[in-house]
Structure 1
Amino acid sequence: MAREVDIAALGELLIDFTEAGYSKDGMKLFEQNPGGAPANLLTVASHMGYKTAFIGKVGTDMHGAFLKKTLQKEGIDTTALIEDEHYFTTLAFVEIDENGERNFSFARKPGADTQLRKEELDKELLRNCKIFHFGSLSLTDEPARSATLEAVKTAKETGALISYDPNYRASLWKDETTAVETMKSVIPLADVMKVSDEESLLLTGAKSYEEAAEVLLSLGLKLVAITLGEDGVLVATKNGKEHVAGFHTNAIDTTGAGDSFWGGFLSRFLSFNKAVEELTGENIRACAVQGNAVACLCVQKRGGIPAIPSAEEVKAFLKENV
């Protein structure tokens, strides 16, 4: 039977209140931006023409309603998005420095995203997706942790490619040791993984990104992509490693950069209609180049979902820069 959804993703859907200047009285202003790593990734894939679906939970408040409407506007199926009157939609306040780098402060005690229960999962969706993607923010608290593991198990049993992005946010964990142990424990369940430069060293204890890639592959992954900011990405499989250069730009806000990279990468992967093991070096480079292009365009605007480029913008950028 043909799978009905190209990418289904589970995890946090939240508001990024992003710094946006000052009021006339000198008070800092924050702009309401829809975000959350899995949702950012799905937005890229949806823009690229793929069928996507989100699995998660928001509150029955103004922010939850706004987020659901945003996903629908982006062409993402929200059938598996639960609206729960008992919990408030998760909020993140984002400071941005002169280089576009971020500092997060979360309102999540608990946030609705942590309250997804395994019995609320749409099992039919999980059994009918080509790629199932999850991150680590849904692993920080119960019941969402158990729901995530159940979703991975269900999708894996029916042959979906499992994608994982360990997105480390220190303030959401009890301590660093707990975070590393938990984020690392699910790697053997995944087939492909995107991880940032800093997170790759944190998870492996390696001294270099090349060494980190080797350690991660040894845990059972078929492909690892270590993002290196404007320096691009290191992609590793059992057949070897390759650094694919990024595109230089003046970053305004790096929110969603890694998510948009991975969304661009997975979208290009889907276009080949091959198993990961069948990808050629040229195929992998094409995935990485598209991911780098999407990320480069994303960081030129503020916010997560609002900053994600259209397929036409990506195509024009690649035509001009490759």
Structure 2
Amino acid sequence: MYDITTFGEILIDFTWQGVNAEGQTLFAQNPGGAPANVAVAAAKLGGHTAFIGKAGNDMHGNFLKSVLEKEKVETKGMTLDDAYFTTLAFVNVGENGERSFSFARKPGADTRIEKEEIDIEILDKTQIFHVGSLSLTEQPARDTTLYAIRRAKDKGSIISYDPNYRASLWKDEKTAKTQMRSLIPYVDIMKISDEETELLTGKVSPEEAAAVLFQKGIKIAVITLGSKGAYLYCKEGGVHIPGFVSKVVDTNGAGDSFWGGFLYCISKSGKKPDQFTMEELKGYVRFGNAVASICVEKKGAIPAMPEMEKVKERMES
């Protein structure tokens, strides 16, 4: 059994590094893609994780696969396709650490994954199955996502969902809302950022948004609030859990590192989502906050994911 299997995009984040002496803009090649980030985050903490997805059979795709293998993430379910290029994301990081994106994805290999390419030996043996929303932007990846979620749910997996809104990848906001909300009926555990509350629930405040998700059947809802921590909602109600103080260098991967830490705790508990107490979940959110607070202190997403020892030190500080 795998503790956590993630499905969706894996790509290259070319992150802005300033300019050289000739005035040319410099970008650093970083492995990325939210589902891949989550798999690595949990693996770095000691989880047994796998990734299912597609990249191009090119220098970038081979690099990405080697990174996952180095981080001890199972890659049997990762396909490298000769026909399509690996998706590239050019990321500009502002002075406050916040990001803006420009994608080279017309189409990217991640959007071309077919359900016949899903490794069911992995899919059928995972405690938690986690997906994002970028795989919903185009076909055939959209139908493949739904197929994988339904199959995993039928096999008893806990379904985790972290919608990741990137406006430039959607036809319009209405389409994004429809597709991103379409997975909610299948989901047990869900995370959204405070910037996505209205898009996913029609409510602006984290408290109202989390309550709406719970009413729609989500058993554990978490709204991330950046440096302010996160808001948790479960069967016992809602509560805000403060974050940790950090020296922010790059927020890329912050939410993914948080969720990787949170899902790691869930996977090691041996419990179903409706069996947790508020106190248990508060501890898991605090753990995720600690993971994220370390991640943002380095550049890149996957290269910044911390190991368990560092997280324990942060929680004790």
TM-score past 0.5 threshold = yes
1:48-89 CA deviation, whole Å, 9 max, x = no partner? 111111000011110001000000000000000001000000
Q: 2:152 aligns with which of 147, 155, 165?
A: 155
Q: 1:80 aligns with which of 70, 77, 80?
A: 77
Q: Partner residue of 2:12?
A: 15
Normalised to the residue count of structure 2, the TM-score between the two structures is 0.98
- Runs of 5+ consecutive residues of structure 2 not aligned to the other structure: none
Q: 1:260 aligns with which of 253, 257, 260?
A: 257
What's the RMSD between the two structures over aligned residues? 0.9
1:208 aligns with 2:205: yes
- Runs of 5+ consecutive residues of structure 1 not aligned to the other structure: none
Q: 1:282 aligns with which of 279, 282, 298?
A: 279
Summarize the alignment of residues 115-194 of structure 1 with structure 2, pairs less than 5 Å apart.
115-194=112-191
1:85-115 CA deviation, whole Å, 9 max, x = no partner? 0000000000011100000000000000101
Identity %: 55
Q: Does the Cα contact within 8 Å between 2:86 and 2:110 map onto a contact in 1?
A: yes
Q: 1:302 aligns with which of 299, 304, 309?
A: 299
Q: Give the count of matched residue pairs.
A: 317
Q: Quote how far apart the aligned CAs of 1:205 are.
A: 1.6
**What's the secondary structure of 1:198's corresponding residue?**
coil
Q: Does the Cα contact within 8 Å between 2:3 and 2:264 map onto a contact in 1?
A: no
1:5 aligns with 2:2: yes
Partners in 2 of 1:116 and 1:207 — Cα distance? 34
Q: 1:27 aligns with which of 9, 24, 28?
A: 24
**What's the secondary structure of 2:130's corresponding residue?**
strand
Partners in 2 of 1:48 and 1:203 — Cα distance? 30
Query: Which amino acid is the alignment partner of residue 54 of structure 2?
Result: K
**What's the secondary structure of 1:259's corresponding residue?**
helix
Partners in 1 of 2:266 and 2:53 — Cα distance? 25
Query: Which amino acid is the alignment partner of residue 163 of structure 1?
Result: S
**What's the secondary structure of 1:99's corresponding residue?**
coil
Q: Does the Cα contact within 8 Å between 1:249 and 1:296 map onto a contact in 2?
A: yes
Q: 1:224 aligns with which of 221, 225, 230?
A: 221
Partners in 1 of 2:40 and 2:218 — Cα distance? 25
Which stretch has the larger CA shift, 310-319 or 40-49?
310-319
1:92 aligns with 2:89: yes
Partners in 1 of 2:135 and 2:238 — Cα distance? 30
Q: 2:49 aligns with which of 38, 48, 52?
A: 52
**What's the secondary structure of 2:54's corresponding residue?**
strand
Q: Partner residue of 2:312?
A: 315
Which stretch has the larger CA shift, 189-198 or 308-317?
308-317
